Amino acid sequence: MFTNLPSKSLLTRLVFVFIGILITTNSFAQVIEDTHFNKANKLFKQERWEEAKQIVDLGLKETPFDADLLMLNGKYYHYKKNNDKARFNLIKSLQYDPNNVDAKQILTNVEIEAKHYSAAICYINELLEVNPYWKGLWRKKIEVYRLQGNTEEANRLLKRINQIYPEDEQIQQDYRYNLKTEINRLKKSGKLEEALKMTNDLMTIDKTNPDLYVDVINTHIAAGDSDKALVYANRALTYMPNNTYLITKKASILADKGNYNEALAFLKSKNKGGNSQLSAMYNQLMLQNARVQNDSDPYTLYGKILERSPGNTEALNYLLNTSLSKGFYSDAQHYINIAKKSGGENKNILAKEYTLYTQMGNEPKANAILTKLYTRFPEDTEIRDNYINYQYKLARQNMMNQQYREALVQLTFLNNLSKNDYTEKSRQELTEAYLKLGRKEDAYATVQKLVNEYPNNVNNHLRKVEVLIAMDRHEEALNIYEEFMKNANQNDFQNHVVAYDEIGTQFLKKLMESGRTDKVFEVADRIIKVNPESELAYTYAMNTAYDIKNYDLLLNYAQQAIEANPDSIYFKTKYAEALSKNQDFATAYTILKELLEQSPYNQSVINTNTQVTLDYGTILYKAKEAEQLMIITDEALLFNPNNKELLYQKGQAYLLMKEYGKAFEYMKYYTPSPIEEAEFQKQMEWLQNKSYKNHITLNYLRSRYADEIEVNSIAAIEYTRLHSADDTFTGRLYYTGRELGSGILAQAEWSHVMNPKTYFTVNLGYGSRYFAKTIANASVFRDLTKDFELEIGLGYRNLPDVYTLTNLVAGLSHTSENVWVNTKAFIYRTDASITLYNVLAQSKFYVFSDGKSYLQAMTSVGTVPESGALDLSLYDFRNFRKLV
């Protein structure tokens, strides 16, 4: 008959571990002359392209997300005429730095060379948003419109920037050349009136070009309209008063009209310097005048009458009308002043004064008189029409000068008038002014009225789209384009598809930024239905699915993208990523392997391959599949050899293989986040310690039974030699001193790894006095699935003056991230054929990731203490028989 041990036994162990660490610190200094970007950029400027490319590649291996290096990579491929690779790198650069101006400039040139003119204009617009006063960029935009065949938009834009930058000689020169080209075209087409009108426009900016005036003068002479010819001759002489050719031209016109006296007087006034050509013409006209001159000139006669009778209305009206029609501006001004003195500022006189200043080209004075006329006589149709025209031109000028508040004054006035020829145009401008001033609701109300009153003008609907976008009402804008596409012809349909895609993708971007993920998929589906090749729609949809971890949806969009764009490396890469997120690593690796064979330097493919390897590696690490983990990591490192996460993962594979030194060498390159820093350093310290070949451990243990005062203590020193990856040798020496003297226990242990999942441990000990005289243990350990380890072992103990015990032990351990749990069952057999047992449960809670800082809890129940208590003689063997 045996009795059980007391159920309340407390064992307390205090372990102090002193570990010697040998650290060799090498200090070195390196002078970094320049960054990869600056070196490469400098070489590019020197046209040393291949040297620069090597530096860019080196920089991208170290910092694969560096927007500036990606820009330089795109610049290199653009120089090499490889626009596909150039476009890819430049777009990647913009993903990491959306404000990279250099990338957008190069991307603009890439799209122009690829004849993707709409895309080029989009990038130009983005650059102009950042720098709206970039004149060179405005000129490039005009050039792209011409390449696109959109001559009307190119001309309109050229005219606009000419008005914005009137001082820029190059823009002026371009505008002049454009007008001249268009004038010649109109003349060849027989459209003389349109050509004359455009020539007048050219005169406003090229006022001192005599050829322009001569061309118009000759045209009017050929048409038999000598009066208009004379008007232009006078206007030309206003800006070029000493031009000999223009002087002779005016004199010739006057002579042809029979006004020899005026022609002669004019030549005489201009020939004060004795010009031989003017003198010869003067003599010739004198001869002609002598032949035809007579005293019947009405202008001269009425002049004499008015001089003698200042109040003669008939003479005054004749002289005023004649001077205006013949371009005698100084005479006309004189007669107008006489009329004002005699009859006041009546409508007729003000109208003639307005005509005078208009013919003279004195717009400020002409507009001042017109304003006075409209204020006094608003019911007069001609005055009202002229004033409306003046207000519209003033509004347009203010809009061109970006003086939107000032433009509102004229545009509001025009908008409040009854319907006229300027109503539609003024409301278009008013909509634009409201948008520029941020008054979106007013802009919407105006454009809605515009669409209702002029529904057949597509441009008005497009203005409504612009307003809706500004109001973040993209869905309504998309609805309008969907209506357009229902009845559009093939050419217009394609244009609408492009605009629809652009608006839709802008909407997607805003939806993503606001977190409206469900709406993202709805809008993306709409865009894909209209434009199945929309790369951005697929991209936004896939990125959103990825963000919300809906990997089934991610895979669905990736499959659609591949079907629509079967040759797209980008979408094949995204498809592989989607497969990996759905745990289909085999198919993902097959796709990535083909892509890497085709494009071994494609950074996007390399990055995706790296991420898939890391994701798969996490699963393999948890499953402790060390060999497979090492294989996939090494394959990924072939393409991305400096990736710190891959190097860390390779270290994890070595960790599973218990090759701690190699694990440390690879894992140390990892750069932890600030949150991970402390734990990572502890883990590295633990790994480094595990990598040492020699370990010394000092232990000191104090213990007592709960119902006794006597305290027993045991000191121990342990030496461990890691001989190889498979063999570990340990020697221990325990010492204790008690009432009857001191005792020691010497123990030797050997651990050997049989295969990656199996190892065994054998130890043998000899003790004196209090310790067991002989101790021998042998256990085999085998890894099971899901972090479980099985132990089967045998043991032998010769307790002095008590019993000789043999035992069988079976144990099971489970290891999770921070917890180790173990249970063991011991069956003992004494030399007196007594059977004893003990069941032990224990756990360790690791506080840090250093492998040595933990809290331990243990308990056991049985007819004999657990083996550790027996080995260390934590009680008096003399009492053993009483215990059992």
Q: What is the pLDDT of residues 722-768, one digit of tens each?
A: 888 789 999 999 998 877 788 899 999 999 999 878 999 999 999 98
pTM over 0.75, yes/no = no
The pLDDT of residue 849 is above 70: no
Residue 4 confidence (pLDDT): 38
525 CB contacts (<8 Å, ≥6 apart)? 541
CA dihedral 799, 803, 806, 807 (to 10 degrees): -90
What number is the average pLDDT over the span 592-603? 92
Residue 22 confidence (pLDDT): 24
Summary mean pLDDT of the chain: 84
What number is the average pLDDT over the span 457-473? 87
Q: Which residue has the tokens 């290199």?
A: 76
CA dihedral 575, 579, 580, 582 (to 10 degrees): 140
DSSP letters, 769-821, are: TTS-SEEEEEEEEEE-STTEEEEEEEEEEE-TTS-EEEEEEEEEEEE-SSEEE
Kindly report the length of the chain: 884
DSSP code for 338: H
Residue 26 confidence (pLDDT): 29
DSSP reduced 3-state for 422: coil
The pLDDT of residue 145 is above 90: no
Residue whose C-alpha is closest to residue 10's, from 641, 707, 521, 798: 707
Residue 403 confidence (pLDDT): 93
The pLDDT of residue 882 is above 70: no
Number of Cβ within 10 Å of residue 400's Cβ equals: 15
Number of Cβ within 10 Å of residue 269's Cβ equals: 9
DSSP reduced 3-state for 731: strand
The pLDDT of residue 118 is above 70: yes
DSSP code for 848: S
Residue 31 confidence (pLDDT): 30
**Terminal C-alpha separation, the chain:** 9
* 229 touches 217 (CB < 8 A): yes
Least confident of 90-99, 166-175, 594-603, 816-825: 166-175
* 776 touches 806 (CB < 8 A): no
* 329 touches 365 (CB < 8 A): no
Q: How far is CA 555 from CA 528, 534, 636, in A?
A: 16, 17, 23
The pLDDT of residue 6 is above 50: no
Name the maximum alpha-carbon separation found in the chain.
168
Q: What is the pLDDT of residues 645-667, one digit of tens each?
A: 999 999 999 988 888 888 888 98
Q: Which residues pair with 776 in a beta bridge?
A: 764, 796
User: Which of 158-162, 303-307, 512-516, 826-830 tops mean pLDDT?
Assistant: 826-830
CATH code of the region 705-883: 2.40.160.40
Q: What is the pLDDT of residues 81-102, one digit of tens each?
A: 998 999 999 999 888 888 889 9
The pLDDT of residue 302 is above 70: yes
Considering only CA atoms, give the Rg of the chain: 49
Residue whose C-alpha is closest to residue 738's, from 624, 534, 876, 565: 876
> Is residue 572 classed exposed, middle or buried when 0-12, 13-18 and 19+ CB atoms within 10 A define those classes?
buried
DSSP letters, 256-275, are: HTT-HHHHHHHHHHH-TT--
* 787 touches 773 (CB < 8 A): no
Q: What is the pLDDT of residues 29-66, one digit of tens each?
A: 223 334 889 999 898 888 899 998 999 999 999 899 89
The pLDDT of residue 584 is above 70: yes
User: Which of 234-243, 258-267, 789-798, 859-868 tops mean pLDDT?
Assistant: 789-798
The pLDDT of residue 19 is above 60: no
> Is residue 293 classed exposed, middle or buried when 0-12, 13-18 and 19+ CB atoms within 10 A define those classes?
middle
490 CB contacts (<8 Å, ≥6 apart)? none
What number is the average pLDDT over the span 708-732? 86
Give the model's confidence band at 469: pLDDT under 50 very low, under 70 low, under 90 confident, else very high: confident
Q: What six digits make up the tokens of 5?
A: 């041990």
* 820 touches 809 (CB < 8 A): no
Residue 746 confidence (pLDDT): 94
The edge-to-edge listing of strands for the beta sheet with 835-846 is: 694-703, 712-722, 727-738, 741-755, 758-767, 774-783, 788-798, 804-815, 819-830, 835-846, 854-862
Residue whose C-alpha is closest to residue 540's, from 530, 529, 559, 527: 527
Give the model's confidence band at 875: pLDDT under 50 very low, under 70 low, under 90 confident, else very high: low
Give the model's confidence band at 187: pLDDT under 50 very low, under 70 low, under 90 confident, else very high: confident
The pLDDT of residue 476 is above 60: yes
The pLDDT of residue 1 is above 70: no
Residue 13 confidence (pLDDT): 33
What number is the average pLDDT over the span 384-405? 92
The pLDDT of residue 10 is above 70: no
Residue 603 confidence (pLDDT): 92
Q: What is the pLDDT of residues 635-650, one digit of tens each?
A: 999 999 999 999 999 9
Residue 54 confidence (pLDDT): 92
Residue 182 confidence (pLDDT): 76
> How much of the chain exceeds pLDDT 70, in percent?
91
Residue 141 confidence (pLDDT): 86
396 CB contacts (<8 Å, ≥6 apart)? 429
The Cα–Cα gap between 881 and 863 comes to 12
* 777 touches 794 (CB < 8 A): yes
Q: What six digits make up the tokens of 139?
A: 């000129």
Residue 290 confidence (pLDDT): 58
